[in-house]
Amino acid sequence: MNGAESLLETLGHNGIEVCFANPGTSEMHFVAALDRQPHVRGVLGLFEGVVTGAADGYSRMLDKPAATLLHLGPGAANGLSSLHNALRARTSMVNIIGDHAGYHRSLDAPLTSDIEGALRPFSDWVRTSPSANSIAKDAADAIGYSLSGQISSLILPADTAWNNADQYTQPPNAVVPSSVSIKPVDVDAAAARLRDSGPRTAILLGGRALRTSQLEAAARIAAATGATLLAETFAARTERGAGRPTVTKIPYPVEPSVELLQNFDALIFVDAKPPVAFFAYPDKPSVLTAPGTTFFTLSPIGADSLQALEDLDEAVGAGSAGNHLADAVGSSRGRSSLLAELAPAPVPSGTITSAKLAAWLSGAIPENAIVLDESITTGWDFYAQTAQSQPHDYLGGTGGSIGWALPVGAGAAISSPDRKVIVLESDGSGMYNPQSLWTYAREQLDIVVLIFANRKYQILRNEMSNVGVADFGPKAESLLDIGNPAIDWVSLSHGMGVPATRVETIEELDRDFRAGLAESGPRLIEVLV
Amino acid sequence: MNGAESLLETLGHNGIEVCFANPGTSEMHFVAALDRQPHVRGVLGLFEGVVTGAADGYSRMLDKPAATLLHLGPGAANGLSSLHNALRARTSMVNIIGDHAGYHRSLDAPLTSDIEGALRPFSDWVRTSPSANSIAKDAADAIGYSLSGQISSLILPADTAWNNADQYTQPPNAVVPSSVSIKPVDVDAAAARLRDSGPRTAILLGGRALRTSQLEAAARIAAATGATLLAETFAARTERGAGRPTVTKIPYPVEPSVELLQNFDALIFVDAKPPVAFFAYPDKPSVLTAPGTTFFTLSPIGADSLQALEDLDEAVGAGSAGNHLADAVGSSRGRSSLLAELAPAPVPSGTITSAKLAAWLSGAIPENAIVLDESITTGWDFYAQTAQSQPHDYLGGTGGSIGWALPVGAGAAISSPDRKVIVLESDGSGMYNPQSLWTYAREQLDIVVLIFANRKYQILRNEMSNVGVADFGPKAESLLDIGNPAIDWVSLSHGMGVPATRVETIEELDRDFRAGLAESGPRLIEVLV
């Protein structure tokens, strides 16, 4: 057995089922080894940003890692910006990056580069395996490390792949890291605060605390204490919609988030951090909370947030713990309901506006859909308007690296073949990883993509005034305009094998969207806004 | 004047004329400052690989830097793989990367990352400017450093852009670095070797030594001494074709390059390094020269290679120096001519094969064209067959980062608006930076793109056997196949505003190619092979 085969056996043994790949010469033995490992499937991306983005989407849905296979420094480099988002999403991922054979590196052949150095800013764990015999152990370490929501990057020189792993006998087990512990003193402090001044307290939920079980525990606490539930602005995945607890997302712009947060003089963090502005702006605060706000960390990043919330629920007492959520919420009548009811907005019609799109979307999301939202300025009201849609998973931007929704959508679809995936993408953002569409077609993924074509970088037009530029000239104007020439998304999509149409009214959009949902396989709709 | 304005003034003052850009919020002041600086033009790319690749092409043609403008860590990351090629091309480039305002970084907002760390493996020089007042000096340093064929990356926190540069009075001058010197002892050693054993000696030319003046000096030396002229396999730009000295490129595959190099027991390096295999392969050598080959470094990397060759020409004496090249070459009759004559291959016809394409191309290249060749397996014979084409500049792959020809072509066209640019691209490679086509359309660049569509990663199929995998299964097969679905390059191209056609015979190709050359503006031809 060679080193490559020992790698694949170790991946399969430890539950890795998918390897998103864009391989090259130095990875050929790993590619060949795929056929000797029944448990690991290869999925090709034509660009590495698609590969690492898809692995992010896969892990966001399943809370387990996929592997990636990348080609030396430049191949890894093309995947880094998707890794940045994955880091911020606290995604589990195992990257396998080929390198030159050890004895070849010192010759400084053209493809030689500092691969470890390139990966380190965008990984939690980086290691180069020195020999065929070390691959299996290193791969098990990489998998184990990744399981707590981390990015592992393992560099494998080509000779470690083709050499004989003569000391290998069986695949080692990945060691699951011990999770960060919940401290009773932190639970007691948060409980005391809530009992003392619940209505002036917000519980800020982030990361994996935005899943239904955690949200229900948090909702019981809120019902019992009068606290407000907040969600971090950039969450990897939120389970929401009808029948699930509602939670208010901290807005992206500075002013409304400051306005929201001044209602609280204490924040309790559950898998979340103190909220700060996305960008700095002249004469605007970077810290969004009111001066003097007290911070309580109930559940540190990566800890068992469900346990923490259940402990807190019990600690705040008041008959809440153990009761059904509906009873608890029933006892808080007079405040707005904490459980969302199914109540989509009235169906709009005619020409398309952002507001009409939000209303339409609220009724269009099918039950159990996975919704990825990179609609940026077009979708400013999508999140709020879909709070009472059918229950769905909502995947958001996490690290600010543009163009994530198309690749992350591929991985989400592969993770969950029985669910419909809806990708809400803006035309500017969609051009960073458009190759994702080819993987949609190759794998016949059940994805409906809406491209919102305003034909400009509208967000940057808004940001010009935010950073204090009152007016700007034609050169600057030209760098914010992507309408000359207009991108024809229908042609682009056809070019990569995904059926596509263009719509200009809500009725056309609704017709094509429902047709896309009714079929299996991908479909793209360019929405002129 | 704010820091951003001092930057643009410094760029313009020091000869920077083009800024390839994909900016974001933290770069808005730099964008706005463009309109206050008449000497610097902004060119938008929809993806950062296009931006840094275009800057590479610009510098390869003009031997001077363009600037780029990139958005924090993820924006820079998307440009890194083009930077890898630019590093290996010894390109001059000045990257400007925005970052969060200094006081905002410690808050760890979502877009925060180690930007210096990300850039360092792919830059020669990295610096973060601490204040508005330091920008001008730092920018002049970045420009100066880049002038010797280096990549400078300057990180500018957003507040350095918007703050007042109150100590700024005028733009500082970039200091041109002193070049590496040519040592008389090295000239004498090379001359002695050539006099002693010219026919068993090769002069290996690389980098800027593949320009006409250097080639002519080298050809005089070869004519006088019987030495052979070789070119490095991966050269940034070679001036070649009718009327220029011929030079034999070291082949990419291991076996023929070893066979070629065993004819010499000494190599003289002129802006080149000892030749090594691109990849390591089991049971094949990584060092391509015969054991015991002696190495002479006449002109170190980055030195004045023309001066070195002229010194050597004088040192080898024999009446060569000062003579016209034609006379010198005339004196070497009996050996194959050292100056290429115009002699394209006979025009082929009918269905398209690689061999016919090479023959067709040899007659199709118009005088003074810029040819970018990333045709990979389809173009295995393009270089040899075009040695006697009309004079042209030939730009090749340098660092092995895939997908370079489309973006580098954009920069080459912008550098040289009076010349025709021909991009020879393979379908697999073209999918790494396809967004380049949009910039072609936006800027109405005079580029004819040929996409050679074999619908597979043919190079990797070849490499499978090179690395010792005799046969491989369906999963591996699937990762080397990009024909399911087939990419429709005509649709893709139309989607980005570039007129396109598909051809299946040499006659159709010739017709559409000539039509593309006759028009101004871009045109794409998908060539089914």
> What does the pLDDT look like over B237-263, one tens digit per residue?
999 999 999 999 999 999 999 999 999
Q: With contacts defined as CB-CB under 8 Å, which chain B residues touch A103? A: 280, 286
Number of independent structural domains in chain B: 3
Q: With contacts defined as CB-CB under 8 Å, which chain B residues touch A468? A: 162
Do A379 and A290 share a domain, yes or no?
A: no
Instruction: Please report, to the nearest 10 degrees, the dihedral formed by the alpha carbons of residues B508, B511, B513, B519 taken in order.
Output: -140
Do A286 and A379 share a domain, yes or no?
A: no
Residue B405 lies in a domain: yes
**Cβ within 8 Å of residue B441, ≥6 positions away:** A485, B496, B497, B498, B521, B522
Contact B121 A107 (CB under 8 A): no
How far apart CA B348 and CA A62 sit, in angstroms, is 56
The whole-angstrom distance between B28's CA and the closest CA on chain A is 6
What is residue A178's predicted lDDT score, i.e. its pLDDT? Answer: 87
Select from A68, A31, A58 the least CA-distant residue to A237. Answer: A58
Q: What angle do CA B216, B217, B220 make, to 5 degrees?
A: 85
pLDDT at B427 over 80: yes
Among A26-30, B113-117, B246-250, B318-322, where is mean pLDDT lowest?
B318-322
Both tokens assigned to A392:
């769905």
For A404, the domain range is: 354-528
Contact A44 B479 (CB under 8 A): yes
Do A131 and A237 share a domain, yes or no?
A: no
Burial class of residue B178 in the structure, from the number of CB atoms within 10 Å of its CB (0-12 exposed, 13-18 middle, 19+ buried) = exposed
Cα dist. B296→A487, B187, B190, B205, B248 in Å?
A: 54, 9, 6, 12, 19
What is residue B470's predicted lDDT score, i.e. its pLDDT? Answer: 84
Contact A277 B109 (CB under 8 A): yes
**C-alpha count within 13 angstroms, C-beta hemisphere, residue A264:** 28
Both tokens assigned to B327:
């006379």
Residue B169 lies in a domain: no
Both tokens assigned to A161:
């792949």
If pLDDT is split at 50, 70 and 90, which confidence band does B471 have? Answer: confident
DSSP classification of residue B313 = H
- In this complex, the residue of A81, A107, A467 whose CB is nearest that of residue B287 is A107
| Predicted ipTM beyond 0.85 | yes
**C-alpha count within 13 angstroms, C-beta hemisphere, residue B499:** 15
Assign A311 to helix, strand or coil.
Answer: helix
Select from A303, A195, A287, A294 the least CA-distant residue to A250. Answer: A287
What is residue A207's predicted lDDT score, i.e. its pLDDT? Answer: 97
Do A192 and A295 share a domain, yes or no?
A: yes
CATH code: domain of residue B50: 3.40.50.970
What is residue A333's predicted lDDT score, i.e. its pLDDT? Answer: 41
SS in 3 state form for A166-230?
CCCCCCCCCCCCCCCCCCHHHHHHHHHHHHHHHHHEEEEECHHHHCHHHHHHHHHHHHHHCCEEE
Average pLDDT, chain B: 95
- In this complex, the residue of B21, B103, B118 whose CB is nearest that of residue A286 is B103
Residue A109 lies in a domain: yes
What is residue A318's predicted lDDT score, i.e. its pLDDT? Answer: 54
- In this complex, the residue of B111, B273, B459 whose CB is nearest that of residue A399 is B111
DSSP classification of residue B172 = P
Q: Quickly tell me which residue has 């605390």 as its tokens.
A: A209
**Cβ within 8 Å of residue B185, ≥6 positions away:** none
Select from A480, A499, A486, A485 the least CA-distant residue to A529. Answer: A486
Amino acid at A448: V
Contact A279 B77 (CB under 8 A): no
Q: Which of B330, B365, B397 is the last residue of a domain?
A: B330
How far apart CA A54 and CA B499 sit, in angstroms, is 32
What is residue B67's predicted lDDT score, i.e. its pLDDT? Answer: 98
Both tokens assigned to A455:
């034909």
How far apart CA B421 and CA B156 sit, in angstroms, is 34
What's the whole-number mean pLDDT along residues B460-474?
A: 91
Contact B476 A29 (CB under 8 A): no
Contact A286 B109 (CB under 8 A): yes
Among A494-508, B126-140, B318-332, where is mean pLDDT lowest?
B318-332
Cα dist. B54→A37, B49, B70, B93 in Å?
A: 42, 8, 13, 10
The whole-angstrom distance between B336's CA and the closest CA on chain A is 31
**B525 close to B509: Cβ distance less than 8 angstroms:** yes
Contact B74 A84 (CB under 8 A): yes
The whole-angstrom distance between B332's CA and the closest CA on chain A is 35
What is residue B21's predicted lDDT score, i.e. its pLDDT? Answer: 98
- In this complex, the residue of B80, B158, B482 whose CB is nearest that of residue A46 is B482
Assign A399 to helix, strand or coil.
Answer: coil
What is residue A400's predicted lDDT score, i.e. its pLDDT? Answer: 97
Query: In order along chain A (529 residues), what is the average pLDDT of each group of 10 residues?
Result: 97 98 96 95 98 98 98 98 98 98 96 98 98 98 97 98 97 92 97 97 98 97 96 98 97 97 98 97 96 98 96 81 51 59 97 98 98 96 97 98 98 98 98 98 98 94 90 94 97 98 98 98 97
How far apart CA B47 and CA B38 sit, in angstroms, is 25
DSSP classification of residue B335 = B
Count of helix runs (H) and strand runs (E) in chain B: 22, 18
Q: Are strands B447-453 and B500-503 parallel, antiparallel or unpaired?
A: unpaired
Q: What is the layout of strands, in order, in the sheet containing A523-528?
A: A238-240, A392-395, A369-374, A421-426, A447-453, A523-528, A500-503
**Cβ within 8 Å of residue A330, ≥6 positions away:** none
**A434 close to A492: Cβ distance less than 8 angstroms:** yes
Amino acid at A452: F
Residue A77 lies in a domain: yes
SS in 3 state form for B9-57?
HHHHHCCCCEEEECCCHHHHHHHHHHCCCCCCEEEECCCHHHHHHHHHH
Dihedral sign for Cα atoms in the order B139, B140, B141, B147: positive
Q: With contacts defined as CB-CB under 8 Å, which chain B residues touch A47? A: 431-432
The whole-angstrom distance between A414's CA and the closest CA on chain B is 16
Select from A128, A150, A9 the least CA-distant residue to A76. Answer: A128
Do B58 and B147 share a domain, yes or no?
A: yes
**Upstream peptide bond of B485 is cis (omega within 30 degrees of 0):** yes
Select from B381, B392, B429 the least CA-distant residue to B408. Answer: B429
CB atoms within 10 A of CB B506: 21
CB atoms within 10 A of CB A256: 12
Both tokens assigned to A61:
């849905």
CB atoms within 10 A of CB A336: 7
**C-alpha count within 13 angstroms, C-beta hemisphere, residue A278:** 22
Do B193 and B105 share a domain, yes or no?
A: no
pLDDT at B333 over 60: no
Contact A476 B32 (CB under 8 A): yes
CATH code: domain of residue A292: 3.40.50.1220
Do B224 and B254 share a domain, yes or no?
A: yes
What is residue B335's predicted lDDT score, i.e. its pLDDT? Answer: 42
Residue B167 lies in a domain: no
The whole-angstrom distance between B488's CA and the closest CA on chain A is 4
pLDDT at B487 over 60: yes
Q: With contacts defined as CB-CB under 8 Å, which chain A residues touch B441? A: 485
How far apart CA B51 and CA B93 sit, in angstroms, is 11
Q: With contacts defined as CB-CB under 8 Å, which chain B residues touch A115? A: 121
How far apart CA B488 and CA A497 sit, in angstroms, is 8
- In this complex, the residue of B35, B118, B162 whose CB is nearest that of residue A475 is B35
Instruction: Please report, to the nearest 10 degrees, the dihedral formed by the alpha carbons of residues B48, B53, B54, B60 taken in order.
Output: 160
Q: With contacts defined as CB-CB under 8 Å, which chain A residues touch B114? A: 120-121
- In this complex, the residue of A21, A84, A109 whose CB is nearest that of residue B479 is A21
Residue B247 lies in a domain: yes
Residue in A closest to B86 by C-alpha = A110
Q: With contacts defined as CB-CB under 8 Å, which chain B residues touch A435? A: 431, 434
Do A249 and A157 share a domain, yes or no?
A: no
Do B317 and B367 share a domain, yes or no?
A: no
- In this complex, the residue of B121, B398, B496 whose CB is nearest that of residue A487 is B496
Assign A294 to helix, strand or coil.
Answer: strand
CB atoms within 10 A of CB A345: 18
The radius of gyration of chain A from alpha carbons, rounded to an integer in Å, stands at 24
Q: With contacts defined as CB-CB under 8 Å, which chain A residues touch B18? A: none
Burial B115-153 (b: 16+ CB within 10 A, else e): bbebbbbbbbbbbbbeebbbbbbbbbbbbbbbbbbbbbb
Select from A12, A16, A30, A34 the least CA-distant residue to A171. Answer: A12
pTM of the shown model: 0.97
**B45 close to B433: Cβ distance less than 8 angstroms:** no
Select from A434, A384, A420 the least CA-distant residue to A513. Answer: A420
**Cβ within 8 Å of residue A169, ≥6 positions away:** none
Both tokens assigned to B54:
């275009």
pLDDT at B115 over 60: yes
Which of left, alpha, beta for A146 (phi over 0: left; psi -120 to 50: alpha)? alpha
What is residue B32's predicted lDDT score, i.e. its pLDDT? Answer: 96
If pLDDT is split at 50, 70 and 90, which confidence band does B317 have? Answer: confident
Contact B277 A104 (CB under 8 A): yes
Residue A257 lies in a domain: yes
What is residue B322's predicted lDDT score, i.e. its pLDDT? Answer: 46
- In this complex, the residue of B110, B278, B495 whose CB is nearest that of residue A492 is B495
pLDDT at B70 over 60: yes
Residue A179 lies in a domain: no
Do A13 and A93 share a domain, yes or no?
A: yes
Q: Which of B162, B197, B214 is the last residue of a domain?
A: B162
Q: Which of A162, A197, A225 is the last residue of a domain?
A: A162
Do B150 and B194 share a domain, yes or no?
A: no
Do B378 and B314 share a domain, yes or no?
A: no
The whole-angstrom distance between A88's CA and the closest CA on chain B is 7
**A96 close to A112: Cβ distance less than 8 angstroms:** no
